[in-house]
Amino acid sequence: MENWKFALSSIMGHKMRSILTMLGIIIGVAAVVVIVALGSGMSSSMSKALSGDNTDVQIYFTTMASETTTDGLVTSTETTDVSNETEPDLTDSILSKLADIPGVDGYYTTNSTMADLSYGKNSAKSVNITGVSSTYFSIKEYKILAGRQFTQTDYNNFSRIVMLDTKLAKKLFGSNKKALNKTVAIGNHDYLVVGVYEDPNAGSALYGASSGGNAVMTNAQLASEYGQKENANVYVHVKDFSQSSVIGTAAADYLTKATGLKEAKYEIYDLQQMLTQFNQSMGLITVFIGAVAGISLLVGGIGVMNIMLVSVTERTREIGLRKALGATRRNILVQFLIESIVLTSLGGLIGLALAWGIVTLVNVSQVMGQGMVAVISLPIVLGSLLFSATVGVLFGVLPANKASKLNPIEALRYE
């Protein structure tokens, strides 16, 4: 315990010198912690964006084949057109069997367009309009704020009805309830507003922000009005996102066989693979920048070693006196090692406090973007403190060893 008191008193006795000595440690620890926190926040946000609403795997038709080649560290992908086949029409009888594939919890289809909406003097430009199949709302977790969803009768009758998201309803009508049973102009046609909804994924990274808002109508009506395929986009819903690639590929293979395609085929947008690649890239970037920031720790460690050597020289008579009074070489070695460890550990603590302040400022100012939160994890906190103490040991050994080897007679004669 005495050695810890000696260490603290020595540091407090030279406050400015101690702070300057710890500066490299402070900057290094703060930089590493902030970089890892930002990287973790971005990875967490991307993972949430991909795995949240995206247990819905999109299947698409393609006539292209891709080939991936690796040349050293460079990986490239080449695509070639291998078929002249046109995209087949997916009938309800083909699509209904998607639900029989193991792991598929449901399916739906969509088509889409963009159009201007208006009501009286109010208008919204470039609104995303999605045409949805009758199975859409059994999978999508829309919260109906006013009115109702579409019924099978709406599909059978090609009813000119529409649902607006709450942003669009308030923009055109001022409130959700006021929008009900009003007629809005979409392009050259009038549509009756039967419902107002809130999408839980609004504002997420993959939602697709629109200045005008979003609306949905039946895919049958959108197909007839805008000349699009009724089932232009196919999605299968899986409960386990980790199995989305396997289950989605099985569904795509089924559609390829069911439609009799020869060279063209159905494929999936593999979000699981995207997430893995993103995390790998973020990991490499974090390690690289963290290594660069770690140079500050190395510089700080050299500074600690330098100042401890100076301290040994300044306290030569003190060391000689302690040895004359019975202090062993081990006592002197431990004293200076503890002083070095205390110095670097204090620098680590100050660096953590600085990192916490920077991360808090980043989160409050939302510099990383809406919904992205930098997180300082317990392992990185403990790791930083342990690393700081280790720097103290490594760079304190030489000065401590020099102090412990001093001859007590010569030390007492030192001026």
Give residue 84's pLDDT.
Answer: 86
Give residue 71's pLDDT.
Answer: 58
pTM of this prediction exceeds 0.75:
no
pLDDT along the chain (415 residues), means of 10: 64 72 82 82 70 74 73 60 84 91 92 92 91 91 90 91 94 93 92 90 49 84 90 90 85 93 86 71 74 73 76 68 70 76 84 89 73 77 80 75 66 52
Give residue 235's pLDDT.
Answer: 94
Per residue in 367-405, pLDDT (tens digit) is 666 567 787 878 878 887 887 788 777 777 777 777 666
Give residue 223's pLDDT.
Answer: 92
Assess contact for 215 and 165: CB atoms under 8 A: yes
- In angstroms, how far is CA 157 from the centroid of its own chain? 44
Give residue 388's pLDDT.
Answer: 79
Q: How far apart are CA 397 and CA 375, in angstroms?
A: 35
Give residue 330's pLDDT.
Answer: 75
Q: How far apart are CA 106 and CA 100, in angstroms?
A: 9
Q: List phi, psi (to 5°) of 238.
A: -120, 145
Q: How far apart are CA 152 and CA 92, in angstroms?
A: 14
Give residue 276's pLDDT.
Answer: 73
Structure tokens at 397: 């050994």
Give residue 316's pLDDT.
Answer: 67
Residue closest to 154 by CA, chosen among 137, 169, 141: 137
Assess contact for 186 and 201: CB atoms under 8 A: no
Q: Please give the single-letter amino acid code of residue 155.
A: Y
Through-space distance between the first and last CA atoms of the chain, rounded to whole angstroms: 29
Q: How far apart are CA 147 and CA 375, in angstroms?
A: 41
Residue closest to 36 by CA, chosen among 395, 387, 392: 387
Q: Please give the single-letter amino acid code of residue 206.
A: L
